[in-house]
């Protein structure tokens, strides 16, 4: 069997998952890329994906009153369904826990949006379940392929002339369509519209 790899990087391991191989389990949890959201841990994701991720804490606002935190594991240069891709996994942690983690990083410069987490600190969170997955392919699938694979979106939100969101609530999926970059596929257990 000949497998073509599309993309610009040199990944090591081929994954047979595709972004449209998404199911809801009997427990009503989303399973995508071999990962069951709310159940599979960060440690297990490393075994499934065959790599060690880079861990970061992201801060969504510089306003001290309204800051939102997200701990993420970034798997770069994966081959998923023949496409060089990146997976960003969100840890299922409370904001209070993430705020405490952020306070330990106080020596970092101000106004940063993400902070690298060293391996020792990241190890403390290996048994945390995954709350969400963002799939970032190195190519643009395009609207026609997306509709062929996922169907017509239940909802569409036009954010700007160059940015739209397609929502597939039953699949726990939001697809972000950008005119100048590849799509982002965001999987959560939520059925929000």
What's the rounded Cα separation, in Å, for the pair 39 and 52? 19
126-145 per-residue burial string, b: 16 or more CB within 10 A, e: under 16: eebbbbbbbbbbbeebeeee
| Segments of 107-183 assigned E as strands | 114-117, 130-137, 155-160, 163-168, 173-178
Choose among 110, 118, 125: nearest CA to 63: 110
**Long-range contacts, stretch 94-102, CB < 8 angstroms, 24+ apart:** 95/68, 95/69, 98/57, 98/69, 98/70, 98/71, 99/67, 99/69, 101/57, 101/69, 101/71, 102/57, 102/59, 102/67, 102/69
- Residue 3 confidence class, pLDDT cut points 50, 70, 90: very low
Choose among 135, 124, 104: nearest CA to 42: 124
pLDDT tens readout for residues 62-107: 555 678 999 999 999 999 988 999 999 999 999 999 999 988 875 5
pLDDT higher than threshold 60 for residue 18 = yes
pLDDT tens readout for residues 111-148: 578 888 989 999 999 999 999 999 999 999 999 999 99
pTM for the structure as a whole: 0.88
Q: Which of 30-34, 112-116, 166-170 is the least confident region?
A: 112-116
CA 40, distance to chain mean position in Å, is: 14
What's the rounded Cα separation, in Å, for the pair 96 and 158? 33
What's the rounded Cα separation, in Å, for the pair 18 and 32? 8
pLDDT higher than threshold 70 for residue 188 = yes
Kindly state the tokens that stand for 155. 């909802």
Alpha carbon separation from 9 to 5, 6, 76, 83, 170 (Å, rounded): 10, 9, 9, 10, 33
């Amino acid at each position: 069997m000949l497998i073509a790899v599309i993309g610009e990087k040199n990944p090591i391991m081929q994954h047979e998952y595709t972004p449209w191989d998404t199911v809801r389990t009997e427990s009503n949890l989303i399973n995508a890329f071999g990962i069951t959201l709310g159940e599979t841990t960060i440690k297990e994701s490393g075994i499934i994906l065959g790599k060690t991720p880079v861990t970061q804490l992201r801060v969504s606002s510089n306003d001290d009153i309204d800051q939102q935190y997200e701990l993420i594991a970034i798997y770069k240069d994966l081959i998923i369904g023949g496409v060089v891709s990146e997976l960003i996994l969100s840890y299922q942690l409370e904001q209070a826990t993430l705020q405490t983690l952020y306070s330990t990083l106080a020596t970092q410069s101000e106004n940063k949006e993400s902070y690298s987490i060293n391996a020792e600190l990241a190890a403390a969170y290996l048994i945390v379940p995954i709350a969400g997955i963002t799939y970032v392919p190195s190519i643009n699938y395009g609207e026609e392929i997306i509709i062929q694979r996922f169907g017509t979106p239940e909802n569409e939100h036009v954010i700007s002339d160059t940015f739209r969101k397609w929502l597939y609530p039953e699949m726990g999926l939001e697809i972000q369509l950008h005119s100048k970059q590849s799509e982002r596929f965001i999987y959560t257990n939520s059925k929000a519209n």
